[in-house]
Structure 1
């Protein structure tokens, strides 16, 4: 059943809309470029391939309920399946390499509804439109002779894509975290929160670690083993809950709702709306996160997506990657 299902999915995506600013980047093209850049690892994710699973719960505050009628903010403990990961499609990436770290959450709401939040630890994304991310992947394709990206092509990409430069500057100037537990995670995209009267509030959100932010020092980066983040999270969770506080940033008129590369002004009001608690962590082949497609457009009542082309392109590409993964490709 899996292969026919994937074939139908691929056909639908091929026939469906494209998502580039010029209308010329399809999900199939995006995933193909990702495979060219990172190689194909059958049965695995095309991006954020290296990761770990975790389990926990989320408890919302009444402050959140004033902006959204979502069951997230009922005050009840909501079960969560989480996945922590490194950006990119290289399963042998070193945990101390500079770059993004991800936290993806699936909230299991009463009545069987699901809410996803798929975030990274950089406060701004490196693409205002899908075309930019696609062009990055093309630039990262290894040279046949060196088996490494051509530095000239990468530089040409950076120089010609100003919407990528803020994220590049951030990742180059910040060392990665010593633990997944010592990193914040950001929604990047704007969403609409809908209250009980259907009044909408434009928001972005982030999760702030109660353990505090702790980047690796330069010396620690040099000495770190290739794989330490998973065991560090497992060990930390064994000592007690690992907590992050969820904060909303409230948008104001004129704040962009469709450009994750554009930060909102720093004076925007922030509201604490709940706490995520991770109580158990494990390898992804031992946990419940492996089979999940953490599509960021999976939202439940009380939260609505915006007309963000990057968000929509992510969702479509995730679906295609998920189908390939299910079929063992």
Structure 2
């Protein structure tokens, strides 16, 4: 495990009985505190992830577009096949979350580059994220904690969270107005953050990326949402790969001056230039227990030469928080 993934030790924040979320709006939050909040909200499931716990493994390859080499010297874009270990998932820490939930779906990719180098991409199927700072994510996790008396989140706490955290509104609106995908294979996945492509001559280009399904985007209808089984996503992906390879186009958006570099809740203008950067092919899918994706910590700061992070506080926070979660689950906690 990378040295930057050293498990952080920090005190756990206690909001107290009836405490206001707004009172803590500017308080700092640590990776350990966020993981603890996830455990308090969803429970502890030993040996499993603390977020996006419900998932499916997959295997395939990526062939990059050599024309992208003008922007990035990454070995992803040589035009040669790169093995990929993928994981598709449902957001949240509940391993029994229904696949009909109006929550995010995830796609995590580990590209296995020559000479043992790795590139990770950890994405979700909403165009923007629901927090501009780690504190917003923490507060949302606390606000949605089930009330012991009802077993459901307290509507007043959620109302207070929404009123005090406008940076959550765009993702929440997207999830409310878009039904979940009918298959992992029929969903686009967004990198959410802004990254840097670095060329051979050290020129930096700001980019965002997404993976667009060649099968087309298809969502459950309102009627299908009511009747769909709670665990349809994994068998649907397995059946689809048995019929033949599933493919996504990697599309890179080129940033312009003034585009947000460090706020994943803000979308870039739709008229920005887009370039097809390669094709991801998934050839097999399987249950995650004992499969190749299960032990992988899909840290998004694991990057190949030619791709670099920006100062997005959410992006930079994901690495230590993933490390805390990985450290716990890999030790059987």
Superposition TM-score, scaled by structure 1 size: 0.94
Which region of structure 1 is more displaced relative to structure 2, 241-250 or 140-149? 140-149
Corresponding position of 1:247: 251
Write out per-residue CA displacement over residues 278-325 of structure 1, whole angstroms, 9 at most, x where no aligned residue.
000000014200000001111010000111111111111100000000
* Alignment equivalent of 1:264, drawn from 259, 263, 268: 268
* Alignment equivalent of 2:239, drawn from 226, 235, 238: 235
- Check if 1:287 corresponds to 2:291: yes
* Alignment equivalent of 1:185, drawn from 184, 189, 197: 189
Corresponding position of 1:78: 82
- Check if 1:89 corresponds to 2:80: no
* Alignment equivalent of 1:50, drawn from 39, 43, 54: 54
What is the rounded CA distance, in whole Å, between the counterparts of 2:243 and 2:290 in structure 1? Answer: 20
Write out per-residue CA displacement over residues 205-257 of structure 1, whole angstroms, 9 at most, x where no aligned residue.
00000000000001111111111100100010111110000010111111111
Q: Is the 8 A contact 1:52 1:84 kept in 2?
A: yes
* Alignment equivalent of 2:109, drawn from 105, 108, 116: 105
Write out per-residue CA displacement over residues 79-116 of structure 1, whole angstroms, 9 at most, x where no aligned residue.
00000000001111111111100000000000000000
Corresponding position of 2:226: 222
- Check if 1:307 corresponds to 2:311: yes
- Check if 1:157 corresponds to 2:173: no
What is the rounded CA distance, in whole Å, between the counterparts of 1:188 and 1:13 in structure 2? Answer: 28
Cα RMSD after superposing both structures = 1.6
Q: Is the 8 A contact 2:6 2:320 kept in 1?
A: no
How much has 1:138 moved relative to structure 2? 1.1
Corresponding position of 1:5: none
Q: Is the 8 A contact 1:204 1:249 kept in 2?
A: yes
How much has 1:21 moved relative to structure 2? 8.7
What is the rounded CA distance, in whole Å, between the counterparts of 2:149 and 2:132 in structure 1? Answer: 32
What is the rounded CA distance, in whole Å, between the counterparts of 1:154 and 1:186 in structure 2? Answer: 26
Equivalent residues, number: 318
Q: Is the 8 A contact 1:121 1:186 kept in 2?
A: yes
Corresponding position of 2:143: 139
**Any gaps of 5 or more consecutive residues in structure 1?**
3-7
What is the rounded CA distance, in whole Å, between the counterparts of 1:259 and 1:23 in structure 2? Answer: 19
Q: Is the 8 A contact 2:10 2:33 kept in 1?
A: no
SS class of match (1:177): coil
Q: Is the 8 A contact 1:21 1:129 kept in 2?
A: no
What is the rounded CA distance, in whole Å, between the counterparts of 1:244 and 1:327 in structure 2? Answer: 35
What is the rounded CA distance, in whole Å, between the counterparts of 1:25 and 1:91 in structure 2? Answer: 25
Question: After TM superposition, where is structure 1 displaced by more than 3 Å over at least 4 residues in a row?
Answer: 12-15, 20-23
**Any gaps of 5 or more consecutive residues in structure 2?**
12-23
SS class of match (2:278): strand
What is the rounded CA distance, in whole Å, between the counterparts of 1:108 and 1:262 in structure 2? Answer: 31
What is the rounded CA distance, in whole Å, between the counterparts of 2:125 and 2:222 in structure 1? Answer: 19
What is the rounded CA distance, in whole Å, between the counterparts of 1:141 and 1:219 in structure 2? Answer: 29
What does 1:61-76 correspond to in 2, within 5 Å? 61-76=65-80
